[in-house]
Amino acid sequence: MGLLSDPVRRRALARLVLRLNAPLCVLSYVAGIAWFLALAFPPLTQRTYMSENAMGSTMVEEHFAGGDRARSLARDFAAHRRKSGALPVAWLERTMRSVGLEVYTQSFSRKLPFPDETHERYMVSGINVYGILRAPRAASTESLVLTVPCGPDSTNSQAVGLMLALAAHFRGQIYWAKDIIFLVTEHDLLGTEAWLEAYHDVNVTGMQSSPLQGRAGAIQAAVALELSSDVVTSLDVAVEGLNGQLPNLDLLNLFQTFCQKGGLLCTLQGKLQPQDWTSIDGPLQSVQTLLLMVLQQASGRPHGAHGLFLRYRVEALTLRGINSFRQYKYDLVAVGKALEGMFRKLNHLLERLHQSFFFYLLPALSRFVSIGLYMPAAGFLLLVLGLKALELWMQLHEAGVGPEEAGGTSGSSPPYPPTQGVGLASLVAPLLVSQAMGLALYVLPVLGQHVAAQHFPVAEAEAVVLTLLAIYAAGLALPHNTHRVVSTQAPDRGWMALKLVALIYLALQLACITLTNFSLGFLLAASMVPAAAVTKPSGPRPLYAALLVLTSPAASLLGSLFLWRELQEAPLSLAEGWQLFLAALAQGVLEHHTYGALLFPLLALGLYPCWLLFWNVLFWK
Amino acid sequence: MAAAVRLVLLVLLLLGPGVWGQAEPPRDSLREELVITPLPSGDVAATFQFRTRWDSELQREGVSHYRLFPKALGQLISKYSLRELHLSLTQGFWRTRYWGTPFLQAPSGAELWAWFQDSVTDVDESWKELSNVLSGIFCASLNFIDSTNTVTPTASFKPLGLANGTDHSFLRYAVLPREVVCTENLTPWKKLLPCSSKAGLSVLLKADRLFHTSYHSQAVHIRPVCRNARCTSVSWELRQTLSVVFDAFITGQGKKDWSLFRMFSRTLTEPCPLASESRVYVDITSSGQDNETLEVYPPPLTTYQDVILGTRKTYAVYDLLDAAVVSTSRSLNVQLKWKRPPENGYIHYQPAQDRMQPHLLEMLIQLPANSITKVSIQFERALLKWTEYTPDPNHGFYVSPSVLSALVPSVVAAKPGDWEESPLFNSLFPVSDGSSYFVRLYTEPLLVSLPTPDFSMPYNVVCLTCTVVAVCYGSFYNLLTRTFQIEEPRKGGLVKRLANLIRRARGVPPL
């Protein structure tokens, strides 16, 4: 810091920053992107390893052999379900009781803010059924959860069958030290949310539900199971939870251990592990997996029922049975054995899972990137904003003095004192207007859906999405209004000050997002930083405008959707992409209201107003 | 007083030494009892009670001769001037919803409560010593009882035995929810029995079977009782109870049949020769109602009917002292077979002092019928001092179970019988009249996870972060708030300064 407090060196450094600003920015941006892509390659990815001592050293033997029982239970469940058209609560209660569990039910209801067209539901009411296996000689202070979310159609019945067969097997064992809760939820994640809120006796989303009669202490870990066929070719594991939260890496390691032990084919993001790390193919495949995970995590949606458990500090993941056209298939016994092994090891836990990483990226199932290694990628991108802000700050303070003579005469005072020159008062109006725009974007679509549905021939869900887009687009018209409000003596200084504030605002927001959800922060930084850095009212304005629009939060979302489907090897046509985009907008708003996902308010209240400031800068007169 | 004693002695001497041994009944007696209750869920509960009664005033007389009463406990009573002592060690949790009301529930872990005599001056000190001594006797970590987990309840935990006054300052209560109970606690408990585990009901106490259960609770209760009906003098009663619940689902493969051998892997062969009463009770209440779905073998010679916990119950009674029971089959192995699967209140709140005493909340409430009452306590999670964390901080911290004591109106009025004659399982809590009965229920302990620093590398993280923040913040603050200007360095060194000093002394302006 002595370097900066010495005025001579400081001036030299300032000159360097000013002169080399553009190359430095480009270099930093390229370094950030390159660093991120390099994360998939071996020196930066490490092999995963089990940190938790209680789960590492002792191997367990699996004895589960209830494959036939699981299949027949699944058939019964599916038949009862078809007959009643809803979750067969009485049958589930009877079956759970017959295998020796304590059975309880919970009814819940929720009116969604607007009709959910993807899942076709609006006024939702359902019943969750759960059975508790009480561990002998334990005082119900700790428990594990095996949950099967059941949607409206009769998928997942094999998962219910397997869960019940496992419950019957577990009930006959004497080694349990933690209670085990077998939970079947109706309306998939809504039921899970209702159950979790009632279990922890909180109400964060306005769900109405009956209180739980049976509890089993603090939940230590949870596994959600999704199976829709009697045989599977592979098991896919999902870790991304609500708002990009991840379970402790040890839970994933545990799953991977039993995959290897049972010889199961396990995938991550639907991709197999690359076998060959020496040639280019392996790392390329892991780049794809990494990008898929980043997109999935950035979306902030729970990638399975486990995602809602993470909010309550319950480590959880979802196992999905995939039945593809591959030749070799595994039956339910193999899946059951993997689950049995996992539960037995979790049963050994003395403390909550805490030894391993909570922040990581996964380029493959057995490889991970730790937070210390991936953070520089985002750091380089944010450095661009910092450099730009520094340049503007210096230009503002030395306005009137040319950059070449800034180091010369020190006695000559600038025409305006620095504080006066920045003219902070003139920035209040654009800041307030853009924030108000963000607030309108957040509040109005849901609030005004009925008005919109009355005046235009659209359904409520469409009304919400279209209002959203309309307000978003209306924000673009604003600078023509604000520039009349704002009057400054020095127009050049005006936009510089505004851009300086916008740059710092954006950098702060992105830094905060990156700390909690790296993927979202990185994606937003990668898309928004270049446009934010180059925007100015002079120069090729149409080009800048196009760049800004292409990198606005909504456009980033659209681009992410295309990239996601491309990586999944199911490319979208433009029309499909647009439909998916509209559905994603509606889902984003819904998930904010039903589960408390933070992506929508973050974009509406934070990044969109910030982006509007840059738009404002571009059309400054 | 001394004259009276001498007079009694004189009379006894006059009666002659020959009569001395036989005529006077022994001043202590032992009754043992086993109650087997098939529970509504299909599990089977077995409750052992061993009661030693000693007609002697331990505290007044300098007692040195012990027969049936364990000396270790007797000395404890006189040394610490105890009035009552209740200690329970429990593994598991009594599921009232599925198992029905227990005869005597205990919280998971260790529970100790004691009443001291009025003569004790420093109750806290005696309490501390007492818990340390008991810790040694029962091989339990009772020495962890200190002021941070001891409370003095004001409304509950009244003395169960004979008591003149109930000044709550002589009561101490503590629970250790983390205590794990195992064979090392069972062995010293068994050693207190007069027949140890050699004869009588105690041969069934095999550790490997008792700890193969869903619930295991062993307890010691010491209290003063009336020596006779008119209560002219005091006797001491020691009750050792042990309750276990066998999981019928695992052991019986879904059937509800049980036998003594299947449960304990032992049968009863002979009574304890020191016992004056030795009985096995089997709850056969449902046999009359469910169309004879239940069959007890060997068929009981007698049955016993009474109102227990508000409902009328029938028990099959096997008296081990009755020669017929044991001699017909050489050993008794009771079996049971199911032929068919079958408002204005009182609130006392004592807030905690950090690291000194725990919170105590007592409420006396009247519950309306068919209602759910929820008592919720809001608390803040705070960081502890870093030395106060346990070695396994991420396991969580235990909150002791709450206690519910209630006088429940009885459905069927019980006839007030002779307290001394009634079975042991029915005479633990003093009953005022037959219209209500006393229950005490405990909730599960609560496991709360507190914010925990990362103990794996606390210094790295904390020190590095603090240093970086401090350095960066300070420097940047400096740079942002100060303006820097170049000042020409002063010309001339030592000589000029000296010259200036001289000029100042002379009153001339400096150079």
The whole-number pLDDT of residue A402 equals 42
* Facing residue for A218 by CB, picked from B249, B449, B475: B449
A502, pLDDT greater than 90:
yes
CATH number of the domain encompassing residue A247: 3.40.630.10
A469 burial (CB, 10 Å; 0-12 / 13-18 / 19+) is middle
- Kindly report the number of other CB atoms within 10 A of residue A485's CB atom: 12
Say if residue A78 is in the same domain as residue A204.
yes
Tokens representing B287?
């046999």
Question: B494 to chain A nearest CA, in Å?
Answer: 26
Mutant choice from B89, B93, B212, B486 vs A, greatest count of A C-beta within 10 A:
B93
Mutant choice from A141, A175, A314, A412 vs B, greatest count of B C-beta within 10 A:
A141
Specify whether the CB–CB gap between A272 and A265 falls below 8 A.
yes
Tokens representing A257?
């251990």
Specify whether the CB–CB gap between A434 and A474 falls below 8 A.
no
Residue A169 DSSP class: H
Closest residue in B to A138 (Cα) is: B92
**Yes or no, beta carbons of B395 and A351 under 8 Å apart:** yes
Closest residue in A to B96 (Cα) is: A214
B-chain residues within 8 Å CB-CB of A100? 249, 254
Residue A521 phi/psi, 5° resolution?
-60, -45
**In sequence order, what are the beta bridge partners of A105?**
A129
Angle at B67 between CA B63 and CA B70, to 5 degrees: 80
Rg of chain A on CA atoms, in Å: 28
Residue A604 DSSP class: I
Strands B28-38 and A102-116: unpaired
Residues with Cβ within 8 Å of A83's Cβ and at least 6 positions away in sequence, in order, are none
> Closest by alpha carbon to A185, among A112, A144, A124?
A124
B450 in A contact zone (CB under 8 Å): no
Find tokens 């939870």 and name the residue: A241
Cα–Cα distance measured from residue A455 to residue A444, given in angstroms and rounded to the nearest whole number: 15
Cα–Cα distance measured from residue A392 to residue A532, given in angstroms and rounded to the nearest whole number: 13
Residue A16 is assigned to a structural domain of this protein? no
Cα–Cα distance measured from residue B240 to residue B32, given in angstroms and rounded to the nearest whole number: 9
B449 in A contact zone (CB under 8 Å): yes
Say if residue A340 is in the same domain as residue A430.
no
**Yes or no, beta carbons of A102 and B215 under 8 Å apart:** no
Say if residue A443 is in the same domain as residue A294.
no
**Yes or no, beta carbons of A351 and B486 under 8 Å apart:** no
Cα–Cα distance measured from residue B282 to residue B36, given in angstroms and rounded to the nearest whole number: 5
Question: A370 to chain B nearest CA, in Å?
Answer: 16
Q: For helices A518-534 and A371-397, give the axis angle rounded to 10 degrees.
A: 30
Mutant choice from B247, B377, B450, B480 vs A, greatest count of A C-beta within 10 A:
B247
**Yes or no, beta carbons of B445 and A410 under 8 Å apart:** no
Tokens representing B199?
């004869």
The whole-number pLDDT of residue B465 equals 86
Window from A462-476, A559-573, B52-66, B170-184 with minimum mean pLDDT:
B52-66
* Facing residue for B215 by CB, picked from A137, A141, A355: A137
Q: Structurally, how many domains does chain A consist of?
A: 2
Find tokens 């007044």 and name the residue: B60
A-chain residues within 8 Å CB-CB of B486? 7-8, 410
Closest residue in B to A409 (Cα) is: B486
Strands B397-399 and B446-448: antiparallel
pLDDT, average across residues A29-43 = 92
Say if residue A335 is in the same domain as residue A430.
no
CB pairs under 8 A between A and B: 88
Say if residue A294 is in the same domain as residue A164.
yes
**Yes or no, beta carbons of B475 and A1 under 8 Å apart:** yes
Residue A20 is assigned to a structural domain of this protein? no
Question: A80 to chain B nearest CA, in Å?
Answer: 25
Closest residue in A to B442 (Cα) is: A139
Q: String of b and e for B443-470 (b: at least 16 CB within 10 Å)?
A: bbbbbebeebeeeeeeeeeeeeeeeeee
Residue A89 phi/psi, 5° resolution?
-65, -45
The whole-number pLDDT of residue B336 equals 56
The whole-number pLDDT of residue B4 equals 42
**Yes or no, beta carbons of A4 and B475 under 8 Å apart:** yes
A311, pLDDT greater than 60:
yes
Cα–Cα distance measured from residue A184 to residue A167, given in angstroms and rounded to the nearest whole number: 12
Say if residue A290 is in the same domain as residue A159.
yes
> Distance between alpha carbon B405 and the CA centroid of its chain, in Å?
14
Specify whether the CB–CB gap between B431 and B438 falls below 8 A.
yes
Find tokens 């009750």 and name the residue: B239
Q: For helices B123-138 and B71-79, give the axis angle rounded to 10 degrees.
A: 170
Angle at A113 between CA A110 and CA A119, to 5 degrees: 75
Closest residue in A to B471 (Cα) is: A1
A435 burial (CB, 10 Å; 0-12 / 13-18 / 19+) is middle
**Yes or no, beta carbons of B214 and A217 under 8 Å apart:** no
Cα–Cα distance measured from residue A390 to residue A381, given in angstroms and rounded to the nearest whole number: 15
Q: What is the pLDDT of residues A60-74, one digit of tens each?
A: 888 999 889 999 999
The whole-number pLDDT of residue A376 equals 93
Mutant choice from B449, B452, B455 vs A, greatest count of A C-beta within 10 A:
B449
Of A365, A388, A411, which closes a domain? A365
**Yes or no, beta carbons of B479 and A1 under 8 Å apart:** yes
Tokens representing B315?
């028990």
**Yes or no, beta carbons of B93 and A138 under 8 Å apart:** yes
Residue A473 is assigned to a structural domain of this protein? yes
The whole-number pLDDT of residue A273 equals 83
pLDDT, average across residues A316-322 = 93
Question: A98 to chain B nearest CA, in Å?
Answer: 9
Domain residue limits at A521: 424-619
- Region of B139 (left: φ > 0; alpha: ψ -120 to 50; beta: rest) is left
* Facing residue for A351 by CB, picked from B394, B401, B479: B394
- Helix, strand, or coil here: B154? coil
> Closest by alpha carbon to A312, among A223, A244, A219, A237?
A219
Say if residue A325 is in the same domain as residue A463.
no
**Alpha carbon of A126 to those of A86, A193, A305, A429, A591: distances in Å?**
8, 12, 16, 49, 18
B-chain residues within 8 Å CB-CB of A174? 212, 250
Amino acid at residue number B403:
V
Amino acid at residue number B381:
R
Cα–Cα distance measured from residue A101 to residue A103, given in angstroms and rounded to the nearest whole number: 6
B338 in A contact zone (CB under 8 Å): no
Closest residue in B to A356 (Cα) is: B456
Residue A72 is assigned to a structural domain of this protein? yes
**Yes or no, beta carbons of B92 and A313 under 8 Å apart:** no
Tokens representing A204?
């964060």
Residue B67 DSSP class: S
Say if residue A462 is in the same domain as residue A595.
yes
Contact map slice: B 145-204 vs A, CB within 8 A: 177
Q: What is the pLDDT of residues A395-425, one digit of tens each?
A: 887 644 444 443 333 333 344 444 444 566 7
Cα–Cα distance measured from residue B116 to residue B124, given in angstroms and rounded to the nearest whole number: 10
- Kindly report the number of other CB atoms within 10 A of residue B428's CB atom: 18
Alpha helices in B240-392 (DSSP H): 248-251, 260-264, 285-289, 323-329
Closest residue in B to A135 (Cα) is: B214
- Helix, strand, or coil here: A603? helix
Residue A250 is assigned to a structural domain of this protein? yes
B421 burial (CB, 10 Å; 0-12 / 13-18 / 19+) is exposed
Q: What is the pLDDT of residues A158-211, one digit of tens each?
A: 999 999 999 999 998 889 999 999 999 998 899 999 999 999 988 888 889 998
Cα–Cα distance measured from residue A193 to residue A436, given in angstroms and rounded to the nearest whole number: 32
Mutant choice from B253, B447, B455 vs A, greatest count of A C-beta within 10 A:
B447
Residue A575 is assigned to a structural domain of this protein? yes
Cα–Cα distance measured from residue A23 to residue A12, given in angstroms and rounded to the nearest whole number: 17
**In sequence order, what are the beta bridge partners of A331?**
A231
B-chain residues within 8 Å CB-CB of A411? none
Residue A600 is assigned to a structural domain of this protein? yes
- Helix, strand, or coil here: A153? coil
The whole-number pLDDT of residue B25 equals 60
Say if residue A333 is in the same domain as residue A453.
no
Please, what sign has the CA dihedral across residues B9, B10, B15, B16? positive
**Yes or no, beta carbons of A1 and B478 under 8 Å apart:** yes
Contact map slice: B 216-255 vs A, CB within 8 A: 216, 247, 249-250, 254
Q: String of b and e for A16-26 (b: at least 16 CB within 10 Å)?
A: eebeebeebbe
Q: For helices A371-397 and A21-38, give the axis angle rounded to 10 degrees.
A: 170
The model's pTM is 0.85
B373 in A contact zone (CB under 8 Å): no
- Helix, strand, or coil here: A366? coil
Closest residue in A to B250 (Cα) is: A172
Residue A388 is assigned to a structural domain of this protein? no
Say if residue A70 is in the same domain as residue A195.
yes
Cα–Cα distance measured from residue A33 to residue A26, given in angstroms and rounded to the nearest whole number: 11
DSSP string, A516-579: H-HHHHHHHHHHHHHHHHH--SSS-HHHHHHHHHHTSHHHHHHHHHHHHHHHTT-PPPHHHHHH
Closest residue in B to A419 (Cα) is: B481
Cα atoms found within 13 Å of the Cα of residue A323, Cβ hemisphere only: 13
Say if residue A117 is in the same domain as residue A192.
yes
Of A335, A365, A395, which closes a domain? A365
Say if residue A309 is in the same domain as residue A209.
yes
Tokens representing B188?
């010293």
A-chain residues within 8 Å CB-CB of B448? 218
Contact map slice: B 133-152 vs A, CB within 8 A: none
The whole-number pLDDT of residue B374 equals 77
Cα–Cα distance measured from residue B86 to residue B175, given in angstroms and rounded to the nearest whole number: 12
- Helix, strand, or coil here: B37? strand
Q: What is the ipTM of this complex?
A: 0.80
Closest residue in A to B106 (Cα) is: A139
Alpha helices in A448-539 (DSSP H): 449-455, 460-474, 479-485, 491-516, 518-534
Cα–Cα distance measured from residue A383 to residue A73, given in angstroms and rounded to the nearest whole number: 58
pLDDT average per 10 residues of sequence, chain B (511 residues): 39 37 65 89 89 79 77 89 92 88 88 91 93 93 91 87 81 92 92 87 88 91 85 87 86 71 84 87 73 70 80 82 58 56 68 83 80 76 80 87 84 67 75 74 87 71 83 82 72 78 83 72
Strands A218-226 and A142-150: parallel
Of A365, A382, A407, which closes a domain? A365
